[in-house]
Structure formats: C-alpha cells, structure tokens
Amino acid sequence: MKLHYSRNPNPRLAVAVARHLGSPVDFVFAAPFSPSETERYRHLNPSLSIPILEEQGRRSLWEADAIACRLSRLSGENFWRTDDEDEPDMIRWLSWGKANFVSACDMVHFEFGTKQRYGIGPVDQAKVIEGLGAFRQSAAILEKELSGRPFLLESGLSYADFRMASFLPYNDVAGLPLGDYPAVAAWYRQLEALRGWGDPFSGLDAPDLPKVASAAERQEKAAAEPPV
C-alpha cells in the first residue's frame, strides 16, 4: 500500500492514523497540483486532493476519514469503532466536529496559514472574527463534554479524537485561544503525547510547509507598530 501525503492538515491526519496504527504503508510525498504531477495523480483522485491510499487490487481511496476507516479495519484495532454501541457516537462526533469545531479552526487557519503560504490573498479579518466566534461556541461545548472524561468517547481514544484535533497542530499560526478551555487543552496534550500524532513525519522525506508568521510573531509586530 502507498499513502500519498503532504504536511497539510488532512494529509497529516491520514499519516498520523497510519503511524498510530503501525499500518504497513509506503509513505509517498505528493504534490498533485504541480504541473509535472497532475496527470500522474488524476487517475488516483480526479479532484487531485490528498491524502490518497493506493492499494494493489483495489480502487484508490481518497478522503482522510475513509482512509482512516480502511487502515483501522486492516489493523484489527478498534480505532475506528465498528460495534453497535460506539460507532454511532463516534460518527456523531465526526459529523458535529467537521461542521463546527474543525470548521472553525479551518476558517481561522485558512486566513493566517493557507492563504499566506500559497499567496491566495490578504487576511480577511471578518472571516477571522467569524471563525473565532465559531471556535469559542464549539470549544465551550467540548469543554463541558471533556470535563467528565479524557476522550470524546467514554470507551477511550478513537479516530473521532484525531479528526476533531486535525487543525490544532497548526495552532502556532492560527492562534486560537485553546488555553481558555482547560479540559480541551488537556485533551489535546494527551494527543500530542502520542508518538503517531505528535510527530507523524518523523523519518519521512517531507519538505516543510512554506514559512508564515506565527501568532506570536504577529502579536509582536502589532505591539511594535506605532498607534494610528
């Protein structure tokens, strides 16, 4: 099996799952939107997005959630819950997270990270404010839930935790106020302590993402500027 990836959030998520499960995959750094690579990847995923799982004798599989499901089932682990009791609860968190907490993180990171890395345009402060508002609303719900247990599911760590946290490794750039939510911050520290999550690219030939200013650097620059 080959897992085509980059250092961006969803490919990182797939790599972290593979590393956490010890999946027997070959990691292949990919840049499908590069003109020299486009045709190579179009037959694997017509949208050209990664991650992509290439498996002999099967159609290529794309989208991080689908890849996580496949790798979990192949591993024999119950990381992607398959039992009648836990699977609906896991899917509940996947669905809610992508529409709320993950979406909010993405909105802010897109402005400070993705747009600046790839020259898409200036930061839209209205979108940042909207994203921060959505983050606070959803983080407050997570704070209440995680105050009573260490992970999203009562049965313990699952893929729902990885999906919910998919943009938090980039929070040095996004600057989301994670520290305002102690239970959420404690939950994420547990994930960071997992080798597969905390350093998924260890030993891989994975070029760094283009450098952009961190939240701390932006704050320092703003403090140094004279008042208008």
CATH code for the domain in which residue 62 is found: 3.40.30.10
Residue 53 lies in a domain: yes
pTM of the model: 0.94
Residue 226 lies in a domain: no
Domain boundaries, position 114: 87-198
pLDDT of res. 125: 97
Residue 137 and residue 193 in one domain? yes
pLDDT of res. 33: 86
Q: How far apart are the first and last CA of the chain?
A: 57
Residue 149 lies in a domain: yes
Distance CA 214, CA 163 (A): 23
Residue 144 lies in a domain: yes
Residue 91 and residue 61 in one domain? no
**DSSP designation for 180:** G
Instruction: Write down which residue in 27, 42, 75 finishes a domain.
Output: 75
Residue 8 and residue 98 in one domain? no
Residue 70 and residue 111 in one domain? no
Residue 112 and residue 189 in one domain? yes
Residue 14 lies in a domain: yes
3 burial class (0-12, 13-18, 19+ CB within 10 angstroms)?
Answer: buried
Residue 32 and residue 108 in one domain? no
Residue 190 and residue 100 in one domain? yes
- Phi first, then psi, for residue 187 (nearest 5°) are -60, -45
pLDDT of res. 228: 58
pLDDT of res. 133: 98
The pLDDT-based confidence of 84 (bands split at 50, 70, 90) is confident
Whether 51 shows a pLDDT value over 90: the answer reads: yes
pLDDT of res. 172: 97
Residue 70 and residue 109 in one domain? no
Residue 104 and residue 187 in one domain? yes
Is there a contact between 44 and 52 (Cβ–Cβ < 8 Å)? yes
CB atoms near residue 191 (< 10 Å):
20
Residue 218 lies in a domain: no
Provide the number of structural domains found in the chain: 2
Distance CA 75, CA 64 (A): 16
Whether 21 shows a pLDDT value over 70: the answer reads: yes
Residue 216 lies in a domain: no
Mean pLDDT of the chain: 95
Whether 177 shows a pLDDT value over 80: the answer reads: yes
Residue 47 and residue 138 in one domain? no
Residue 163 and residue 192 in one domain? yes
Residue 175 lies in a domain: yes
